[in-house]
Every structure is written in structure tokens, then in C-alpha cells.
Amino acid sequence: MVRRGASGMVMLKMSGNILLDTLVGSIPILGDIFDLKFKSNVRNMRLLQEHYRYGKHAGSAWGPILLVICIIFAMLFLLLFVCWKVVQWVV
């Protein structure tokens, strides 16, 4: 869809729908119940239609992507710090 002019924000929202559907759908019984109501493909098609017809969801996704990357690095740093402290305590 990027080749056809979809914005980065649309792609980010579509990826979020797929990720949410995958994560919750992997839980045995709750995932089946969730899949009855949450249809990521239908939501993604609606996002694309709104983008192409009405110009909604325009803009770059670099801000949210950079925020997620910063959060991941902060969590990784915190994990390494805690592991280092546990190793120091054990030794």
C-alpha cells in the first residue's frame, strides 16, 4: 500500500491492528472470543478506505516509531542493569 500512496500513519495503525490480533489471538480461549469481534483485516480495509476517500490518517509515523524504539531501549537498559546488579549480588 505504500507504493500506492498510503501514509506512514496508516501503515502504523494497520500494523498495530495485526499485532494486537496476533497477540490476543494466541491466547487459547480468549483469543477465539476476541477474534469473533475484532477483525483486523476489516479494520485495515476501513483505514485504507478512509485514507484514500477522505484523506484521514495522513502524516508521518516517525514520531510514534521513535517513541517505541526509545521505550524498547530504555527497557533493555533497565533489564541489563538489573541483571548486572543480580550478578554482583550473587558474586
Cα 12–Cα 13–Cα 14 angle in degrees, nearest 5? 90
Residues 87 and 74 occupy one common structural domain: yes
Give the confidence band of 24 by pLDDT, cuts at 50, 70, 90. very high
Domain range for 73 = 62-91
Residues 6 and 39 occupy one common structural domain: yes
Residues 39 and 69 occupy one common structural domain: no
Residues 73 and 54 occupy one common structural domain: no
Cβ 8 vs Cβ 60: under 8 Å: yes
Residues 49 and 76 occupy one common structural domain: no
- Report how far residue 14's alpha carbon sits from residue 8's, in angstroms, rounded to the nearest whole number: 10
Residues 24 and 68 occupy one common structural domain: no
pTM over 0.85: no
Check whether 23 has a pLDDT greater than 90. yes
Residues 76 and 38 occupy one common structural domain: no
Residues 26 and 51 occupy one common structural domain: yes
Cβ 12 vs Cβ 63: under 8 Å: no
Residues 51 and 78 occupy one common structural domain: no
Any residues with CB less than 8 A from the CB of 72 and at least 6 apart, and which? none
Rg for the chain, CA atoms, rounded: 19
- Residues 9-19 have pLDDT tens digits of 888 999 999 99
Residues 25 and 53 occupy one common structural domain: yes
pLDDT of residue 8: 87
- Residues 48-85 have pLDDT tens digits of 899 988 888 888 888 888 988 999 999 999 999 999 99
Structurally, how many domains does the chain consist of? Answer: 2
